[in-house]
Structure 1
Amino acid sequence: MLNPTDFPEPTLVPVNGVELEVFEAGRENEGKPVVLCHGWPEHAFSWRHLMPTLAAAGYHVIAPNQRGYGNSSRPTEVTDYDIEHLSGDLVALLDHYGYEDATFIGHDWGAFVVWGLTLLHPNRVNKVINLSLPYQVRGEKPWIEVMEEFLGGDFYFVHFNRQPGVADAVFDENSFQFLRNLYRKNVPPAPPEPGMAMINLARAETPRGEPVMSDSELAVYVSAFASSGFTGSINWYRNLDRNWRLLADVDPIIRQPALMIYGDQDWAIPRSEDLTEFVPHVEVVGLDCGHWIQEEMPEETNQVISRWLERQDATVRP
């Protein structure tokens, strides 16, 4: 386990009308940028195991807390968290460091943003590595509408949209309990409970399964959300249908080399059946873990990513 005090000190970087709290490693490796995009409810600290490995491999590693998280800006308008704003932040971050393009690595919601960034700004992305969340195909109906139809109003994506503020308040009141109960592995299967699962989790007094991180590591997340609250991060979910509309006229094919890493025990997110149709140059790897891939199996995750990047770099050398 990494001591949180060993994590790099952040800087506040002005981008796209906001400020992002950015953590870096390997600044001496100018010219080989990798940008790490966390998910929900995460923090740049989730990349603590990967950052030193990439820096040692010669990369300039840039890990922002995205808008709504940590000490980054938290705009109050829900629409300020749509895919245009989130991808625009990353483009502006490249501009800040003077990079034309970069390799982007995303986990969970961060993966959604990386897929969207690659569609909206393909010339700014040279390689894609995503964990947990595969490419989401844009169907005929908006995403929340489809989820409501098939999964019901208590499904947390739907609940966040249809009952704004309700879950936010519960998470804010129970931030330690919620995050402690969420960041677990080897959770035994249980029958579904009535109500909204994430709210139930936040109110559960006893965690299930095993912790994926130490108490001191968990404290970094708890402290960050105690300061920021959860609303900014949940506003990402409140833009899913808006994102569906914003991506209407975009070429849906990802043409960059891509690596997709699944947690084989991540029952919440099924593998994509048509991934290669939309991401033709993708390599798929499964690790024997749950949703928190880089937290549960850091060494294996680092190895898969490092070897894939080595192979990609070898193919483009003269």
Structure 2
Amino acid sequence: MPPDLGRLPIMRIDARGLEFVVRAGGPERGEPVLLLHGFPQHGGEFDEVVPALHAAGLRTYAPDQRGYSPGARPAEVEAYQLPELVADTVALLDALDVEAAHLVGHDWGAAVAWAVAAAHPERVRTLTAVSVPHPAAMAYALAHDPKQKARSSYMVLFRQAGKAEKALLGLRAAGLRRLLRGVGDTARVAAYAEPMREPGALTGALNWYRAMSGAALGAVGPVTVPTTYVWSDRDNAIGRGVAELCAQHVTGDYRFVELPGVSHWIPDEAPAPLAEAILTRVRGTA
């Protein structure tokens, strides 16, 4: 089992022939919230966010997604295409006997959450997307916005099999630790970096980038469910232009929350404002 940041009980859920590690907490009869992590983290990135959700009576589930759970690590790059990640999320809801959940996603987890909300609105009560905008907005920016293309240039390395693993894992994962500097102290960095040193773990995580295509991102449709998008103005990966473009891809009630002075690692750096944004959306207030 990968190192955990916190205190939540661990479940193992079988879905689609894979086994997912899931952190669960809060009142068992509370409205369900599914939290999807990003790269290169795991479900523990929400450990400082969920206490406020539990106090509000919500039940939370934070899975380690495909490539991150040791029992859900296919070898083929094609197994990490966006439709597969969406299908995992729906299958997890089925396995948890959850008809519809409040969906929260950060980074790559946000991309999946957007796609789930677009394709399966009947399974999503509300959406809170964190850092990464709607995939179609991202696809457009990568094709037409030079500033966003520059911000996303790290993806060129991440898509190179072998080279990326060497760059990030060499010298006891020094590159990965530098990437994670914004999450907090040394112990918090290690809580994310150490699981990525397990055989095949980083490759599984990087396969999300290697399976990514502009066509698949651009094919994600508009989101009709009540949606909040949380962006931070010191995010080195996501610029204001694409963040503001996101609104064009939501037809439901929409709120844009900007967190000043916060980096890309919002759940780690600003858990209280993020929890407030989630609860505001869940409660249906603006």
Whether TM-score is above 0.5 comes out as: yes
| Residues 233 and 174 of structure 1, relative CA distance in 2, 3 Å threshold | farther
Pairs within 5 Å for 1:123-134: 123-134=122-133
Query: Which secondary structure does the structure 1 equivalent of 2:212 belong to?
Result: helix
Match of 2:264 among 291, 296, 303: 291
TM-superposed deviation, 1:311: 3.1
Quick check: 1:70–1:225 contact (8 Å CA) kept in 2? no
- CA deviations on 1:230-279 (whole Å, 9 max, x unpaired) are 111111011221x724864x6x2101000111111113202333322211
TM-superposed deviation, 1:151: 4.4
TM-superposed deviation, 1:137: 1.9
- In the alignment, what sits opposite 1:206? none
Counterpart-to-counterpart distance in 1, 2:208 and 2:140: 15
- In the alignment, what sits opposite 1:261? 230
Query: Which secondary structure does the structure 2 equivalent of 1:261 belong to?
Result: strand
Quick check: 1:172–1:229 contact (8 Å CA) kept in 2? no
Quick check: 1:39–1:109 contact (8 Å CA) kept in 2? yes
Quick check: 2:228–2:277 contact (8 Å CA) kept in 1? no
What one-letter code is carried by the residue in structure 2 that aligns with 1:278?
A: H
What one-letter code is carried by the residue in structure 2 that aligns with 1:214?
A: D
- CA deviations on 1:207-250 (whole Å, 9 max, x unpaired) are xxxxx323222222122111253111111011221x724864x6
Pairs within 5 Å for 1:141-152: 151=149
The answer to whether structure 1 residue 217 and structure 2 residue 188 are counterparts is yes
Counterpart-to-counterpart distance in 2, 1:131 and 1:36: 11
- CA deviations on 1:251-310 (whole Å, 9 max, x unpaired) are x21010001111111132023333222113210111120100111112222223223322
Q: Percent identity?
A: 32
Counterpart-to-counterpart distance in 1, 2:217 and 2:132: 20
Query: Which secondary structure does the structure 1 equivalent of 2:128 belong to?
Result: strand
Pairs within 5 Å for 1:188-267: 212-227=183-198, 228-241=200-213, 244-245=215-216, 248=219, 252-267=221-236
The answer to whether structure 1 residue 278 and structure 2 residue 279 are counterparts is no
- In the alignment, what sits opposite 2:155? 157
Structure 2: runs of 5 or more not aligned: none
Counterpart-to-counterpart distance in 2, 1:19 and 1:160: 25
What one-letter code is carried by the residue in structure 2 that aligns with 1:24?
A: A
The CA RMSD measured in Å over matched residues stands at 2.9
| Residues 66 and 72 of structure 1, relative CA distance in 2, 3 Å threshold | farther
TM-superposed deviation, 1:11: 1.9
Quick check: 1:290–1:296 contact (8 Å CA) kept in 2? yes
What one-letter code is carried by the residue in structure 2 that aligns with 1:284?
A: F
Counterpart-to-counterpart distance in 2, 1:310 and 1:138: 27
Counterpart-to-counterpart distance in 1, 2:25 and 2:263: 27
- CA deviations on 1:166-196 (whole Å, 9 max, x unpaired) are 10232233454223312234xxxxxxxxxxx
Query: Which secondary structure does the structure 1 equivalent of 2:224 belong to?
Result: coil
Structure 1: runs of 5 or more not aligned: 186-211
TM-score by length of 2: 0.86
TM-score by length of 1: 0.78
- CA deviations on 1:36-70 (whole Å, 9 max, x unpaired) are 00011111110001122112211110000001114
Counterpart-to-counterpart distance in 1, 2:45 and 2:134: 21
Corresponding pairs, count:
278
